[in-house]
Structure 1
Amino acid sequence: MENLHIVFWLLKDIGWCLIWKPLGLVMIFPTLLIAILIAYNTRQLVSELCHNLAIAFWISANSYWMISEFLHFDELMVFAGVTFKHLALVPFLLGLICLLYYYIWWKPRHPDSIETM
């Protein structure tokens, strides 16, 4: 499933790069769905869960950014110099928070835990 996930992700980004909207937009769904399923399936291992949640948030941010460019609202202002493209920072930061939680809080308090499957 993880290998297929990479194929979908690459197809999504190829669609974005080539400005082929149908491919880019359609590939959001399997890419994000598999990322969420991978995170769910690894929920017993905090290390894997945090990293896989960060990936799901990354794909969400990346997909939103792509959509904003495809639909030409990426440069529109939301407020005070912030564009709609900048709103992609929300899921990017949520992913970063997942990783910071793991590396700064959880891992130092559980040094002997099993970290991989």
Structure 2
Amino acid sequence: MENTPLYSIPAKYRKIENLHIVFWLIKDMCWAMLWKPLGLVMIVPTVSVAVLITWQTRKLKAELYHNLAVLFWIIANCYWMVTEFLALPDETRYYAAVPFSIGIVIIAAYYIRVLPAEKTEAMANAG
């Protein structure tokens, strides 16, 4: 048997994450089907649950960084959808790159700075 540590998440958090997937899928289906009113309404629960998930996992650095990146991904995704629904000029959708980029920076910060520091600390505490 492996000595790999188990990672578990509380059931109530898992249910919220699963609900978030449902909201996100409905929002994106509305986008694809051009169901504008429902798509715009679905922004609120999709972003709200992403914020809730991020808040709930704030004490676990790996989860916090990844959930922040997902939150910015959803914000970018919602903005892009709105630009298409409102028939804004094509150039305006490129501003979605801002929150997408913030998400990339957050993930990069985690893997370049936070994770190596945690590994170094764990090795120091083990030895």
TM-score interval, normalised by the smaller of the two chains:
0.7 to 0.9
Structure 1 counterpart of 2:48, which letter? L
Name the SS of the counterpart of 1:28 in structure 2.
helix
Unaligned runs of 5+ in 1: 76-82
Aligned match for 2:101, one of 93, 100, 110: 93
Find out whether 1:43 has 2:58 as its counterpart: yes
- Residue aligning to 2:46: 31
Q: Which has the higher helix share?
A: 2
The aligned length equals 106
Unaligned runs of 5+ in 2: 1-15
The structure whose RCO (Cα within 8 Å, separation 6+) is larger is 1
Percentage of identical aligned residues? 52
Runs of 4+ in 1 over 3 A off after TM superposition: none
- Residue aligning to 1:22: 37
In structure 2, do the counterparts of structure 1 residues 41 and 29 end up closer, same or farther at CA, with 3 Å as the change threshold? same
User: Is contact 1:61-1:89 (8 Å) kept?
Assistant: yes
Aligned match for 1:10, one of 18, 22, 25: 25
- Residue aligning to 1:108: 116
Partner Cα separation in structure 1 for residue 103 and residue 110 of structure 2 = 11
Find out whether 1:67 has 2:82 as its counterpart: yes
**Deviation (angstroms), 1:104:** 0.5
**Deviation (angstroms), 1:74:** 4.0
Structure 1 counterpart of 2:68, which letter? L
**TM-score calculated relative to the size of structure 2:** 0.81
Q: Deviations over 1:84-115 (max 9, x none)?
A: 110000000011111001000110111139xx
**TM-score calculated relative to the size of structure 1:** 0.88
